[in-house]
Amino acid sequence: MEPFANLTLPEKEALRKTLREEFDRICAKNLKLNMARGKPGTEQLNLVSGILTVLTDPTDCVCDDLDVRNYGNLSGLPAAKRLFAEILGCKPEQCFIGGSASLQLMYDLIAKAYTHGLRHSERPWSQEPKVKWLCPAPGYDRHFGISNHFGMELLTVPMTAEGPDMDLVEELVKDPTVKGIWCVPKYSNPQGIVYSEKTVSRIAALKPAAPDFTVMWDNAYCVHEVFGEYLPFPDILSMCAAVGNPDMVYEFASTSKITFPGAGISVMATSEDNQTYLQGLLKYQIISYDKVNQLRHVRFLKDKTHTIEVMAKHAEVLRPKFACVLDTLAREVGPLGLATWENPKGGYFVSVNTLPGLAKRTLALCAEAGVTMTAAGATYPYGKDPADSNIRIAPSYPGLEELQQAMEVFCLCLKLAALEQVG
Amino acid sequence: MEPFANLTLPEKEALRKTLREEFDRICAKNLKLNMARGKPGTEQLNLVSGILTVLTDPTDCVCDDLDVRNYGNLSGLPAAKRLFAEILGCKPEQCFIGGSASLQLMYDLIAKAYTHGLRHSERPWSQEPKVKWLCPAPGYDRHFGISNHFGMELLTVPMTAEGPDMDLVEELVKDPTVKGIWCVPKYSNPQGIVYSEKTVSRIAALKPAAPDFTVMWDNAYCVHEVFGEYLPFPDILSMCAAVGNPDMVYEFASTSKITFPGAGISVMATSEDNQTYLQGLLKYQIISYDKVNQLRHVRFLKDKTHTIEVMAKHAEVLRPKFACVLDTLAREVGPLGLATWENPKGGYFVSVNTLPGLAKRTLALCAEAGVTMTAAGATYPYGKDPADSNIRIAPSYPGLEELQQAMEVFCLCLKLAALEQVG
Query: Is B50 a member of any domain?
Result: no
- pLDDT confidence of residue B2: 82
Contact state of A49 with B42 under an 8 Å Cβ cutoff: no
Q: Do B52 and A49 touch (CB under 8 A)?
A: no
pLDDT band for position B155 (cuts 50, 70, 90) = very high
Inter-residue contact A88 to A252 (CB < 8 Å): no
Residue B36 has a pLDDT of 87
Nearest residue on chain A to B108, alpha-carbon basis: A285
Q: Is the pLDDT of residue A294 over 90?
A: yes
Mutate to test the interface with A, among B154, B287, B297 (most CBs of A within 10 A): B287
Find chain B residues with C-beta within 8 A of A100's C-beta.
99, 287-290
- Distance, in Å, from the CA atom of B153 to the CA atom of B382, rounded to the nearest integer, reads 10
Task: Say what percent of chain A tops pLDDT 90.
Answer: 96
A230 and A338, same domain (yes or no): no
User: Taking every pair of C-alpha atoms in chain A, what is the biggest distance, in angstroms?
Assistant: 78
B54 lies in some domain: no
**What share of chain B has pLDDT > 90, as a percent?**
96
* B402 CB neighbour count, 10 Å cutoff: 17
**Nearest-by-Cβ selection for A58 from B46, B261, B263:** B46
Chain B positions touching A124 (Cβ under 8 A) are 126
**Which residues in chain A have their CB less than 8 angstroms from residue B108's CB?**
285
pLDDT of residue A206: 98
Contact A286 B40 (CB under 8 A): no
Q: What are the tens digits of pLDDT across the range B213-222?
A: 999 999 999 9
Please indicate whether residue A270 or residue B1 has the higher confidence score (pLDDT): A270
Does B254 reside within a domain?
yes
Domain that holds residue A255: 72-303
pLDDT bin (cut points 50, 70, 90) of residue A162 is: very high
The alpha-carbon gap from A293 to the nearest alpha carbon of chain B, in Å, equals: 7
B366, B316, B301: which is closest to B27 by C-alpha? B366
Pick from A52, A314, A298, A398: which is nearest to B58 by CA? A52
Q: Are residues B38 and B74 in the same domain?
A: no
A107/B71 Cβ within 8 A: no
Q: Which residues contact B178 (CB under 8 A, 6 or more apart)?
A: B132, B133, B134, B155, B172, B208, B209, B210, B213
Asked if residue A180 belongs to a domain, the reply is: yes
Would you say A304 and A222 are in contact if contact means Cβ atoms under 8 Å apart? no
Q: Mean pLDDT, to the nearest integer, of B333-356?
A: 96
Residues B254 and B374 in one domain: no
- Per-residue model confidence (pLDDT) at position A67: 97
Q: Nearest 5°: phi and psi at B136?
A: -60, 130
Per-residue pLDDT, averaged over B373-378, amounts to 93
Check pLDDT > 80 for residue A422: no
**pLDDT, tens only, A199-228:** 999 999 999 999 999 999 999 999 999 999
Shared domain check, B119 and B240? yes
CA A108/CA B273 separation, integer angstroms:
24
Q: What is the pLDDT at residue A103?
A: 97
B60 and A52: CB-CB below 8 Å?
yes
Please provide the average confidence, as pLDDT, over all residues in chain B.
97
When pLDDT is averaged across residues B342-347 and rounded to a whole number, the result is 97
Domain with A106 in it: what CATH number? 3.40.640.10
CA distance A35 to chain B (A): 14
| pLDDT per residue as tens digits for the range B160-204 | 999 999 999 999 999 999 999 999 999 999 999 999 999 999 999
The whole-chain average pLDDT of chain A stands at: 97
CATH of residue A352: 3.90.1150.10
Instruction: Look at residue A260 and tell me if it is in a domain.
Output: yes
Which of B48, B140, B284, B299 to mutate: most A Cβ within 10 Å? B284
Whether residue A104 sits in one domain with residue A193? yes
Q: Both B296 and B318 in a single domain?
A: no
Determine the average pLDDT of the residues in B294-304.
98
B52 lies in a domain?
no
Q: How far is A4 from chain B (nearest CA, A)?
A: 40
Instruction: Report the residue from B42, B58, B104 with minimal CB separation from A285.
Output: B104
Give bridge partners of residue A97 from the DSSP assignment. A267
Write down which residue in A303, A333, A353 finishes a domain: A303
Task: Report chain A residues whose CB lies below 8 A from the CB of B281.
Answer: 149
Is B263 in Cβ contact with A100 (below 8 Å)?
no
- The verdict on A260 and A372 lying in the same domain is no
Cβ atoms of residues B132 and B214 within 8 Å: no
Distance CA B280, CA B272 (A): 12
With beta carbons under 8 A apart, name residues in chain A contacting B149.
116, 281, 284
**What is the per-residue pLDDT across A257-284, written as a single tens digit (0 to 9) for each?**
999 999 999 999 999 999 999 999 999 9
Pick B99's closest partner by Cβ from A71, A115, A290.
Answer: A290
Number of cross-chain residue pairs from A and B with Cβ atoms under 8 Å apart: 170
- CA atoms of B102 and B253, how far apart (whole Å): 6
| B254, B204: one domain | yes
Cα(A375)–Cα(B272) distance, rounded to whole angstroms? 28
pLDDT for res A37: 85
Q: Do B146 and A284 touch (CB under 8 A)?
A: yes
Query: Does some domain include residue B55?
Result: no
* Cα distances (Å, whole numbers) of residue B230 to A246, A356, B227, B310: 55, 67, 9, 12
- Of the pLDDT bands very low, low, confident and very high (cuts 50, 70, 90), residue A423 is low
The complex's ipTM?
Answer: 0.97
Quote the pLDDT of residue B167: 98
Report the chain A residue with the minimal C-alpha distance to residue B141. Answer: A284
CB burial string B347-384: b at 16+ within 10 A, e below: bbbbbbbbbeebbbbbbebbeebbbbbbbbbbbbbeee
Last residue of a domain, one of A257, A278, A303: A303
Residues B23 and B89 grouped into a single domain: no
Same domain, B130 and B238: yes
Domain boundary among B280, B303, B326: B303
Pair B130, B276 in one domain: yes
Residues A191 and A232 reside in one and the same domain = yes
Tally of domains in chain B: 2
Higher pLDDT, A179 or B101: A179
Q: What does residue B30 show for φ and ψ, rounded to 5 degrees?
A: 50, 50
What confidence score (pLDDT) does residue B423 get?
62
Q: Cis peptide leading into A190, omega within 30 of 0?
A: yes
pLDDT at A75 over 80: yes
Which member of B42, B124, B262 has the closest CB to residue A71? Answer: B262
- Distance from the B155 Cα atom to the nearest Cα atom in chain A, whole angstroms: 19
Could you tell me what percent of chain B has a pLDDT over 70?
A: 100
Q: Is residue A315 part of a domain?
A: yes
Residue A156: count of CB within 10 angstroms of its CB: 20
* CB atoms A70 and B288 under 8 Å: no
How much is the pLDDT for B422?
Answer: 75
